[in-house]
Amino acid sequence: MNNGECSEEEHVWLTILQQVQSCSSNKLPSNKALLVIGENETGKTSLIAKIQGNDDPKKGSGLEYHHLLVRDEYRDEQTRLGVWVLDGDLYHQNLLKFALNEASFPNTTVLLIASMTNPWDILDSLEKWANILEEHIERLKMKPEKLNHFKQLVMKRYLDYISPGDEIEGLVTSPVKSRSESISDNLVESSNSTHTNCNADTLGENVLTHNLGLDIVVVITKTDYMSTLEKEYDYKEEAFDFIQQAVRKFCLKYGASLFYVSAKVNKNCDLLYKYLVHRIYGLPFKTPALVVEKDAVFIPAGWDSEKKIAILYENIQSCSPDDNYNDIIAKPVSKRPLQKDIEITSEDDQVFLLKMQAQLNQNVPSVGVTNQTPTIRTSPAIQKPLDRRSMGTSPVSGVPIDGPKNSPAGEGVLQNFFNSLLNRKSGAGSGGSPRHGSERDTRSIAEELHRMTGGTGIATTGTPTANANNK
């Protein structure tokens, strides 16, 4: 086959491709997907729910599936973007094959998640999951030339980035290319390997050294926790700058974009959604890089460089930016544990009753049989109020020791007194003179009452008759 036949065959295929693209260029594709990976408790499901507008996210296990509604307001079209969320347990990493395979590879964008709640684990977590993703890609039954084609597309897109507002008329025809134009450019570019290699030389030593052939977005979640790090762990601006420069260097290696977000306070979540639909569907996006606010950083793929990262070095004085990450951002010796609800278990009924019985037995005063005083129960309706000034309590049994005269002890004395009267009365009737007996009884009653009142009042020593005779 000569060169003329090859050129004619390529022309036929390009014509067919252009016809297909022209028929479908006005429709948003429905085969695009997001793959969200990272450790557990980094807020993966909460972030997707926030973008969805779902206030009550339900976390699953293994491999979750969600979708985002994408709408093109200009064309009045909409579609669904599938979202796969992989569990952070390495036991479930074999489920990656359902979300990322040979067929879905060209249409998949990866969100690589780490959390600011554990800043000492950010870099290790990113490298760990990037290695897991790379190993999974190597296990795919994808031809090397096909994978290399996707890597060339990632490199071209990285090099072609132009910050919004920096377009130069005549050099850039359109700030946002249509889907059909992007595919056509990619096909032409992939066939010219020499031109691509020349562009690769301009990247720099540490840029796209780990090109996986996938569009990757690194997302640092829960950035609202930075204020807690400042208060409880004494983090300074220098520490946050050191973290940022390390993460940005990681993004350079993979050609990744970077977002600092907080689903709790809804910071950068909407911006992340707009950037994703821009990268995936080519919808307009006019926001430049944001590096002023430490908790709302946004760096699009292709914007950053080592020279721009070096600006952060001015605030890093106590260490070197090249120092080991975990030596500078070290895990604290003791981290405040999360407050968990205390589980309350009910006590067995018999054990509870035995304890109550023992407690009641300890509170019962032990009184001898000979000195035991009968207790008279009174109705609550006729009880008289106690005098608080004369109230006293035994430190052991809690029984009043200096109560008023109408206390239960006084009632017992009255009972004994009236019982003695009855006994004396019955004894007087058996013998002796009734009159003399009556006088003795009256005298005894007066003496007993005088003794009971503590010697207060008037003591009657005789009968009214006797007193009259004395006069």
In a domain, 360, yes or no: no
CA distance 122 to 118: 7
Please state, as a whole number, how many other Cβ atoms lie within 10 Å of the Cβ of residue 377: 5
Per-residue pLDDT of the chain (471 residues; tens, 9 = 90+): 455 555 666 677 777 776 665 555 558 999 999 999 999 999 999 999 999 999 888 888 899 999 999 999 888 899 999 999 999 999 999 999 999 999 999 999 999 999 999 999 999 999 999 999 999 999 998 999 999 999 999 999 999 999 987 765 444 434 344 433 443 344 434 434 433 344 555 777 899 999 999 999 999 999 999 999 999 999 999 999 999 999 999 999 999 999 999 999 999 999 999 999 999 999 999 999 999 999 999 999 999 999 999 999 999 999 999 999 999 999 988 655 555 566 677 888 888 888 888 888 887 665 544 444 444 444 444 444 444 444 444 444 444 444 444 555 556 666 676 677 666 655 544 444 444 555 566 666 667 666 766 655 444 444 444 444 444
Regarding pTM above 0.75, the answer is: no
For residue 265, CA distances in Å to 10, 111, 262, 270 come to 53, 20, 6, 12
- Give the pair of three-digit tokens for residue 402: 């200096």
| Residues 74-83: contacts with CB under 8 Å, at least 24 apart | 75/26, 77/26, 77/27, 77/28, 78/28, 79/28, 79/29, 79/30, 79/32, 79/281, 80/30, 81/32, 81/33, 81/34, 81/276, 81/277, 81/280, 82/32, 82/33, 82/34, 83/33, 83/34, 83/36, 83/48
Domain final residue pick, 328, 355, 384: 328
| Residues 409, 411, 412, 416, CA torsion sign | positive
CB-based burial of residue 83 (10 Å sphere; 0-12 exposed, 13-18 middle, 19+ buried)?
Answer: buried
CATH number of the domain that residue 202 is part of: 3.40.50.300
Burial pattern 235-262, b for ≥16 Cβ within 10 A else e, equals beeebbbbbbbbbbbbbbebbbbbbbbb
**Is there a single domain that holds both residue 25 and residue 102?**
yes
- Measure CA 100 to chain center: 30
Question: Does residue 194 lie within any of the structural domains?
Answer: yes
Taking the CA of residue 469 as centre, how many other CA atoms within 13 Å lie in the half-sphere pointing to its CB?
5
- Specify whether 114 is located in the same domain as 59: yes
Residue 345 falls inside a structural domain: no
Distance of CA 130 to the CA centre of its chain: 25
| Residue at 323 is within a domain | yes
Edge-to-edge strand order for the sheet containing 63-72? 63-72, 77-86, 33-38, 108-115, 215-221, 257-260, 298-299
Q: What is the largest CA-CA distance in the chain?
A: 167
Give the CB-side neighbour count of residue 205, counting CA atoms within 13 A. Answer: 2
Structural domain ending residue among the three candidates 294, 328, 362: 328
Q: How far apart are CA 311 and CA 322, in angstroms?
A: 14
So what's the pLDDT on residue 404? 47
Considering the domain architecture, whether residues 260 and 385 belong to the same structural domain is answered as no
For residues 98 and 220, state if they share a domain: yes
My answer on whether 173 and 65 are in the same domain is yes
- Both 127 and 254 in one domain: the answer is yes
Q: What is the pLDDT of residue 58?
A: 83
pLDDT in tens, 284-318: 999 999 999 999 999 999 999 999 999 999 999 99
Measure CA of the first residue to CA of the last residue in the chain; give whole Å.
Answer: 166
Residues 289 and 171 in one domain: yes
| CA distances in angstroms from 2 to 7, 8, 188, 190, 252, listed in the order given | 9, 10, 21, 22, 43
State the Cα–Cα distance between residues 96 and 86, nearest whole angstrom: 7
Helix intervals (H) in 193-258: 193-201, 226-232, 237-254
Assess if residue 426 is contained within a domain. yes
**Residue 1 lies inside a defined structural domain of this protein:** no
Pairing of strands 298-299, 257-260: antiparallel
> In DSSP terms, which residues pair with 257 in a beta bridge?
217
On whether both 133 and 229 belong to a single domain, the answer is: yes
Q: Count of domains in the chain?
A: 2
Residue 198 shares a structural domain with residue 302: yes
Question: Can you name the residues that pair with 299 across neighbouring β-strands?
Answer: 258
Give the contacts of 121 (CB within 8 A, at least 6 positions apart).
39, 114, 331
Residue-level pLDDT at 405? 45
Q: Give yes or no: residues 199 and 65 share one domain.
A: yes
What pLDDT was estimated at residue 2? Answer: 55
165 located within any domain? yes
SS3 305: coil
The answer to the question of residue 352 being in a domain is no
171 plus 60 within the same structural domain: yes
* ∠ Cα 105 108 111 (to 5°): 130
> Which of 328, 351, 366 lies at the terminal end of a domain, its last residue?
328
**Domain containing residue 421:** 375-470
321 and 380 housed in the same domain: no
